[in-house]
Chains A and B, each alone.
Chain A
Amino acid sequence: MGTVFSAGDSFPDYKKAPVSRLQLVKFAGASGDFNTIHLFSEAGEKAGAGGVIAHGMLVMGMVGEAIAHWVPRKALKKMSVRFKGMTLPGDEITVSGKVADVIKNGEETSIICKVTAKDQNGQVKITGSFEALV
């Protein structure tokens, strides 16, 4: 789709607004994930998290948002993530990505990219990869 990618290219960091408790309530309703550790402090404390923690899928959603900002949504063929750390209300997520490999197959070119989501202290929340047909 026009852009030429090379292995090692970085995408511009994608920065999100701080996660809020209201956002966790909205995300629970939108996604249908009503695991109480995301909603009630007592449940988060019982689970050993010290309070409410964000849904991992909310942070994955932010990673998906960043990817579709870097490459056309239609180009996205695969996205894989590993959840590495808890995200708390107030955390500011920044998603960074870089091209790991460019694969040419006839007329088609695929890029395999690494992606990471970190908070304002550099703590890693998600590591993963995505594949896009460019």
Chain B
Amino acid sequence: MAALDKKGLKFKEYTMTVERGKIKELAGAIGDPNPIYSDAGAAKAAGYRDITIPPTFMQVIDMWSGVLGFEEQCRALEMNPLKVLHGEQEFEYLADIYPGDVISGAARVANVAVRTGSSGGMNIFKLETRYTNQHGQLVMVSRASIIERH
């Protein structure tokens, strides 16, 4: 099975700067009115030194990285885009993230499983991405389960 061969695959490490405008854009699209994502004063009152990121923001730098976008993921894992589902997602928060931070994202295929079932089989790719800031500090870890239906 070609899918099983993807285990251990490492995506090219990428670097993205956290942008103030993208933080505001994501919060706006979600409809999240929390002022800590747009107002530095409100963020400072909440214990931050500047505005910070919504809990799901790392998706933005993944998707815009040119490495982990939806189409790039489909190509790298040889998935049919119309058969792809996001099964699970986990984020672990290890340090604060601010606009201007330069984040390096290192993603790999931690595991692959192929399931067969009465309603059709599926490939399940477990991706893990580790995010390090410009000071070399590990700030977040993402674990995703991507499903490709057969």
**Majority SS at the chain B contact face:** mixed
Asked whether A74 and B82 contact (CB < 8 A) given A29-B25, A58-B29, A79-B55, the answer is no
Query: Does the CB pair A76–B90 fall under 8 Å?
Result: no
Minimum distance in angstroms from B21 CB to a CB of chain A: 10
Question: With a CB–CB cut-off of 8 A, which chain B residues contact A33?
Answer: 59, 63, 69-70
B58–chain A nearest beta-carbon distance, Å = 10
State the majority secondary structure of interface residues on A. helix
**Residues A35 and B84 in contact, CB atoms below 8 Å apart:** yes
Distance between A107 CB and nearest chain B CB, rounded to angstroms: 17
Q: Which residue of B lies closest to A130 (CB)?
A: B55
- Report if A61 contacts B (CB, 8 A): yes
Given the complex of chains A and B, what is the CA–CA distance between A26 and B32 in angstroms? 13
Question: Cβ of A27 and Cβ of B30 under 8 Å apart?
Answer: yes
Whether B28 and A64, one on each chain, are in contact in the complex, defined by CB atoms closer than 8 angstroms, is no
* Nearest opposing residue in chain B for A58, CB measure: B30
> Which of A30, A34, A76, A80 contacts B29, CB < 8 Å?
A30
Inter-subunit contact A23/B31 (CB<8 Å): yes
Task: Give Cα A67 to B60, complex, Å.
Answer: 20
Contacting pair B81 A31 (CB below 8 A): no
Task: State the Cβ distance, A119 to closest chain B Cβ, in Å.
Answer: 15
Pairwise interchain contact B31-A74, C-beta atoms closer than 8 A: no
Q: Which residues of B contact A7 (CB under 8 A)?
A: none
Shortest CB-to-CB span from B44 to chain A, Å, is 12
Closest to A82 in B: B88
**Given A29-B25, A74-B46: A68 touches B55 (CB 8 Å cut-off):** yes
A36 to B81, CA, bound (A): 9
With A73-B55, A83-B87 as given contacts, are A62 and B30 in contact (CB-CB < 8 Å)? yes
Other contacts beyond A43-B82, A61-B29, A74-B46: 17, CB < 8 A: A26-B28, A27-B29, A30-B60, A32-B64, A34-B69, A35-B70, A35-B81, A36-B81, A58-B29, A62-B30, A64-B32, A69-B34, A73-B46, A74-B47, A76-B55, A80-B91, A83-B87
